[in-house]
Structure formats: structure tokens, C-alpha cells
Amino acid sequence: MHRHIKQAALLAALCIPTLATAAEAMAPMVVTAGRVAQSEAAASSDLTVIDREEIERSQTTNVVDLLRRVAGVQVNNSGGPGKASAVYMRGANSGQTMVLIDGVRVASSTVGSFEWAHLATADIERIEIVRGANSTLYGGDAMGGVIQIFTRKGGKERGSGSVEYGSRYRQYHTNAQFEAGAPDQLRYAVTIDEEKTRGVSAAANGVEADGYKRRTYSGHLAMPLGSSEAEMVLRQVEGKSAVDGGFPFGDVLNFNNSTKQTVGSLKVSAPMSDSWLSSVQLARFDEKLISSDPVNAANNASIRSVNDQLTWQNDLYFGPATASLGYDLRRDHGSNPGQQIDKKIDQKALFALLDWQGDGYGFNASARRDRHQLFGSARTWRVGAHLEDAGLRLAGNVGTGFKAPSINDLYWPFTVGPAGNTAGNAALKPEKSRGWDAALSYRVAADQSLAELKLARFGQRYENLIEWAPTTPIFWQPSNVGRAVTTGYELSVRVQVDGAWLSANWNRLDGRNALNGTQLARRAKESGSLLLGFAAQGANLEWQTNIVGPRFSDPGNALPMVGYHTSDLRLSLPIEGSMQLTARIDNLYNKRYEETKGYGVPGRAFIVGLKGGM
């Protein structure tokens, strides 16, 4: 199957010269690449934007499934909908990819990474994925890249809703949205989204279905204050999921996880002069996890993670140059009474960015100084540049990173468990990294047609990489494994011609522990995706295939997992007015595979739905 994706990429590349006489496409505006609004063409970073139109065509109800199609991104799920999910970008750990929702960092203070399982798509306007070293702009979590979620802001009066049902796993999904307002006036958007499924056994060798239900409430308000603007965001997710024991254990009856994630922020942006924009954002991410098991008390837990943030940013515009100066303040508070953990850690940082755009070229440089409560000061830097002529573009970046251990890494007490004993490690050192990437691309467009071919090469070296691994056969502890190296390339193609589109990527990754040569856990050497779509008279048809090659489930490479590929098919048909009938088949060929060793995945599922708007 992987040969077909490579062949599709080659075929699409051959289509590109047919558009070579066209004018260049108008690039969309992006924010994440440089912390300021700029055209995609002005960013040296290697990035992907998923807009609202693409989200709706995908019929995907959760973000993690959208990310499977993105170049350089691999996803691991542990047991079906609502179960623990991790995202690896270019081989970086899940905690080394910064996740933002409307500018708010949403990583757990206790484990140091974001839990993707409950992130729905219903209220999302667009997603920006920036690959490569970005710690200088966003802090240590961004060693491998940044994924920023932008929720709907409103802007005109409209409402919409949908309902879906799938019989095999008793899947129900409903949502309703309403937006109102106008540019430069009061604008708001409200969304309620609900999902429920019987699911599959979280344990691959289990027989009991482990269900999941989730409800998301989201509100976004933008209010003009003279020449200034205030934005308020409130987003809450409530999820409950039945779970099983980890590998090699099977069914665990009546074991449930309940999660509540709340994102709240207030941001005020004010022009101090014609060339100076100042903004202040005060935000909180609050995550509560309650695990309950009436039989095994060791599975019971009540964990709370609070991340308070203050960001002050000043953007100065001088003709072709933009300078940004800012201050980040963050307090991580993690509490787990069952493990006698109640810790607060403060981290503050100053950052500066200079971006210069010329005719057919651009340059940027940034620097950051972090001061961590436990580990003192650390300095990071990043430089990037791009050259472009007649659609041919060369871009590159190099940068460093710094990431401190999480609260669990440092303070987890000695614990006896069925799979072995565990403990934190107060002697851990912060992770450090140095990464680079270069991309050569060719992009042309004419009318409604577009073609782009891109080849990216990257490398990253990690010092003091933190991994939880057995130090004896029965004792697990986080340790600095010394050095890890990731290198690879990504080939991606996009073509859109007369109501048809093709998007394909193929990725090669070599991620290794540089001391002993073992492959980094859960990172496949080869992966890719292929998306084919057609639209005519309001109807849409899409076919998507994702491919993941062989990999290992553990750092010691003792638990191999075979490669797999899955395909999905989806259809949307207009019926009456703005109403649409939707239908899709997930896991079209009913493949049996593992994303995480010992955990189940759903088989083929048929889902039908109805959506409409006004």
C-alpha cells in the first residue's frame, strides 16, 4: 500500500507544471509561526493549516483523527474513543509538542503533556500545526513543534446543528452552534457538542466493551473597546470513559475515568500607536481526573492539574520589519492526594523576535531567557529564513530548546503496582535540544486550481531526554537517557483541480537512543496518508488512507508492533435547503491492528447523519 501513496505523490507532482503559468495563490494568514499575524508565505517554519471547510468535509468528531493525515505527525491511541491518546511530531515526545487553545497552553502540570482524547472539532475554526524547534517562542513544550487550536469567534449571524448515529458501536453525536456579530462590533459564538459510544474493549484481549461519553461547552466573545478589543474564551469538556488494565492485562470491570478540562482566558489588545500593538492575556487551564474502581483500590485516584498563565506581548512594526517583545509567567500546580503530591512550580520568561520581509525573501531571529524555580536560568535561540521566486521556495530554520521535568517526573512516590514498582526521580536534569529543518517547495495556482509539492528534511538532537523505563525488571523510574537523535524527511503533495483534490504525504523517521541504538518507542520509521476528494452540485465524496509502519511499543525494543493501514470513506449529499445527509465508513476494510501494544481498536463502522444551518 505504501507504494500507492508514493505513486500518487509522483502523479500529483506531474500535474503541477500544467498550472505553472498561473499567478501565485493568495496565502492565508497564520499566527502560530511567529506569534503575530502574517501570511503563510512570510513564515520560514514548516506548517500545515486545517481550516473549517476541511474539518466539515472530514466528518471527524475529534481532532486527534484529523492529525493522522498531517505530514510529520504520528498518533497513538490506547483502546478506542475517549482513551489515552498521544501525538508525536517528528519523533519528539508527546510532551515536547506545545498545544494551545486560543493562545492558552493546555498541558497537564502533573504529566507534562496534553490529553487529546476529549478534544472535539465542533467549535474549531482552524488548526495551525508548526513543525520543528519552537521553544524560543513558546517555551520548552515546543521542542518538536506547536499545534494551536482556534475556536469560532462569530462575525455574522448563523446557526447550525447536526446529529449522527452508528449502529455497530451505538455511536451518537449531536451538536448545535450559534454565532452572531459583525467585524469591529460585538461578536460571539456558542457551541454545545455531545458524543456517546459503546466502544470496544480497551484491552485487545478483552471481551467487555468500554464505553465513552463526552460533552463540550464552548463560548467565545470579542468586544470592541474603542480602538482596542477584549476577547473572552470559556471552554469546558466533561468526559467519562471505561478503561482496562495495561498490557498484558485484560478486562477490568467497572474501572472508569472521569475527566473535566476547562480553558478560560481574557485577552485585551490595544494599539499604543500606529506602529505598536500591545496585548495582555490572563488564562487558566484546569484539568480534573477521577479514576474509580470498586474492586481494586490501587486504581482509585483524584488528580487535579492547574496551569495559570500571564502573557504580555508587544508588537512593533517598522516597514518591512516586525519586532515582538514579551513576557511569559506560568505556574503549574499539580495535586494527587492519593500519592501525597501537592506541588507548585513557577516559570517565567522574556522573549524577543525580529522578522524582516523583503521582495522574495524573509529572515527571522528570536531569543528567550527562561527562569525556572527549580532549575534556574536557560537561554534558547532560533533563526530562520526563506527565499522564493516564481513559486519555487526554499526555507530553513535552526533552534535550541529547554524543557524541565514534570511534577510526576520529579515527585511521584514509590508505588507498588501489578506491573511493577514505580517512583519519580528528583535528580532529573532538564531536557535540552538543538534542531534544524529545511524545505524545498513549488506552488502554483490558477482560478480555483492549486498545486504544491514539498520536500522537507529535518534533524533534532536531544540531551538528557527523559523517559520512564525499567531500571530493573520490576522497577520503573524516569531517567535522563543521555542522548536521542531524530532525523528524517517528509514528502507532501497537494493538488486541487475543478472540484477534485488530492493530498498525500510520505514520512521517513529515524528516532534513536544515541547511547544504545534502540529505536524510540511508538515511532514508526515510515508513515503516510492519502486523501482523494470530489465535489459536484453540493455533494462531497472523500476517501482517506493512513499508513503506519512497524515500530516498538517500549524503549528497550522488546515489544514489536507490525505496521498497518486503514481507510475511511465519507459522503455528503444536499437534500432540502441547507440540509445535508452525511454518511461515512470508518475502518473500511475492517482492519485489526494495534496503535499501542495490548490495546484494542474499533473495527468497521457505518455512521449516518443529518446536518443543517441557517
pTM of the entire predicted model: 0.94
Taking the CA of residue 418 as centre, how many other CA atoms within 13 Å lie in the half-sphere pointing to its CB?
Answer: 11
Task: For the chain, report the end-to-end CA distance as a whole number of angstroms.
Answer: 42
Predicted confidence (pLDDT) per residue in 402-413, tens digit? 999 999 999 988
Q: Could you tell me the residue ranges of all domains in the chain?
A: 2-613
Least confident of 411-420, 485-494, 537-546: 411-420
Do 163 and 87 meet the contact criterion of CB atoms below 8 Å apart? no
- pLDDT single digits (tens) 439-464: 999 999 887 788 999 999 999 999 99
What CA–CA distance (Å, rounded) separates 402 from 486? 17
- What pLDDT score was predicted for residue 13? 43
> Cα separations (Å) of 432 from 99, 401, 406, 457, 510?
19, 5, 14, 21, 19
* pLDDT tens digits along 223-263: 999 999 999 999 999 999 999 877 777 888 889 999 999 99
Residue 418 confidence (pLDDT): 62
- CA distance linking residue 99 with residue 106, whole number of Å: 6
Q: How many helices (H) and strands (E) does the chain have?
A: 5, 37
Distances (CA, A) of 68 to 107, 251, 334, 535, 546: 20, 28, 30, 23, 7
What local confidence, expressed as pLDDT, does residue 194 receive?
97
What is the overall mean pLDDT for the chain?
Answer: 91
Give dist(CA 110, CA 408) in Å, integer. Answer: 5
pLDDT value at position 403?
Answer: 93
**Residue 138: helix, strand or coil by DSSP?**
helix
Most confident of 6-15, 270-279, 410-419: 270-279
Instruction: For residue range 264-290, list pLDDT tens digits in order.
Output: 999 999 999 999 999 999 999 999 999
Determine how β-strand 145-151 pairs with β-strand 97-101: parallel
Q: Dihedral of the CA atoms 23, 458, 526, 546 (nearest 10)?
A: -40
CB 286 within 8 A of CB 335: no
For the stretch 366-381, pLDDT in tens is 999 999 999 999 999 9
- Distance in angstroms (rounded) separating the CA atoms of residues 299 and 257: 10
- In 3-state terms, what secondary structure has residue 153? coil
Q: What is the pLDDT of residue 271?
A: 96
Confidence of residue 523 (pLDDT cuts 50, 70, 90): very high
Strands, E assignment, 390-448: 392-403, 415-417, 420-422, 431-446
The yes-or-no verdict on residue 67 having pLDDT over 50 is yes
pLDDT for res 191: 97
Percent of the chain with pLDDT over 70: 94
Asked if residue 473 has pLDDT above 80, the reply is no
pLDDT of residue 11 exceeding 90, the answer is no
**Cα Rg of the chain (Å, integer):** 23
Which of 3.40.710.10, 2.40.170.20, 3.10.310.30, 3.30.1280.10 is the CATH number of 2-613? Answer: 2.40.170.20
Q: What is the pLDDT of residue 534?
A: 95
Q: How far is Cα 370 from Cα 140, in angstroms, rounded to an integer?
A: 9
Residues 436-464, buried b or exposed e (16+ Cβ, 10 A)? bbbbebbbbbeeebbbbbbebbbbbbbbb
Higher pLDDT, 121 or 183: 121
Q: Tell me if residue 468 falls in helix, strand or coil.
A: strand
